[in-house]
């Protein structure tokens, strides 16, 4: 980013190559709309490039970039739905292309083979869309960007404690919304606490 600040176009291309898919994924989940996500991904990089002089090395670049993306997403949601506080419409269920740009553990297979994977994806997406925009952003940043509560707080302009509450509420809400499909997932040992898993 230091090189980008100095006007190095090749360095900028490297940043786009590294972050394009991640920003696009974030916006895709925030907006629930592929076309809007593509538009805003480009807009995010345009704004980042125009504000490059203002970037400070002490600020984590990812947090800065996702702050821009999140703000653009909130504006778009307000333009389209009047209020970004509202959940997204759950009618859209078009599946995302199943191409992973970054290595990630394979999603677990549903226990109930009778339910198609596409159905599970649609159900989970509908549940995610039912969250308000802050909850949705926190979950997506935590899950897909593996950001810490502190980093998420920087993006959303919240304290780590507020992020803690936000993510907790979001997960409780998702638990309720996904109650019908929770049993499809095989229980696994509790992370960091394997010795106590006995149910």
Q: Looking only at residues 147 through 186 of this chain, which bind other proteins when binding is defined by CB under 8 A? A: 148-149, 157, 164-165, 167-168, 171-172, 174-175, 178, 181-182, 185
Nearer to other proteins, 46 or 89 (CB): 46
Residues 73-102 interacting with other proteins (rule: CB under 8 A): 73-75, 78, 84, 95-102
Nearer to other proteins, 75 or 89 (CB): 75
Shortest distance, position 3 Cβ to other proteins, whole Å: 14
35 binds other proteins (CB under 8 A): no
128 binds other proteins (CB under 8 A): yes
On whether the CB atoms of residues 31 and 73 are closer than 8 A, the answer is yes
Nearer to other proteins, 36 or 52 (CB): 52
Euclidean distance between CA atoms 88 and 92, whole angstroms:
9
Q: Which of 3, 20, 63, 132 binds other proteins (CB under 8 A)?
A: 20
Q: How far is CA 120 from CA 76, 116, 181, 185, in A?
A: 27, 7, 8, 11
Shortest distance, position 185 Cβ to other proteins, whole Å: 4
Euclidean distance between CA atoms 165 and 150, whole angstroms:
13
Euclidean distance between CA atoms 128 and 138, whole angstroms:
11
Q: Residue 30: enclosing H or E segment and its boundaries?
A: helix 9-31
Give the angle subtended at the CA of 64 by the CAs of 23 and 171, to the nearest 5°.
65
Shortest distance, position 79 Cβ to other proteins, whole Å: 10
């Amino acid at each position: 980013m230091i090189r980008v600040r100095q006007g190095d176009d090749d360095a900028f291309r490297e940043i786009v190559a590294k972050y394009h898919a991640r920003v696009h994924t974030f916006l895709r989940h925030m907006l629930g709309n592929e076309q809007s996500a593509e538009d805003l991904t480009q807009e995010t990089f345009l704004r980042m490039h125009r504000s490059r002089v203002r970037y400070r090395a002490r600020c984590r670049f990812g947090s800065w970039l996702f702050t821009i993306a999140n703000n653009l997403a909130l504006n778009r949601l307000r333009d389209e739905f009047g209020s970004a506080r509202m959940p997204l419409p759950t009618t859209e269920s078009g599946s995302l292309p199943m191409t992973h740009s970054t290595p990630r553990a394979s999603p677990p297979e549903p226990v109930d083979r009778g339910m198609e994977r596409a159905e599970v994806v649609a159900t989970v997406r509908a549940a995610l869309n039912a969250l308000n925009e802050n909850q949705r952003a926190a979950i997506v940043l935590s899950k897909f960007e593996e950001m810490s509560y502190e980093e998420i707080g920087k993006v959303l302009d919240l304290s780590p404690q507020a992020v803690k509450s936000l993510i907790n509420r979001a997960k409780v809400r998702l638990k309720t919304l996904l109650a019908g499909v929770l049993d499809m997932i095989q229980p696994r040992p509790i992370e960091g606490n394997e010795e106590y898993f006995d149910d």
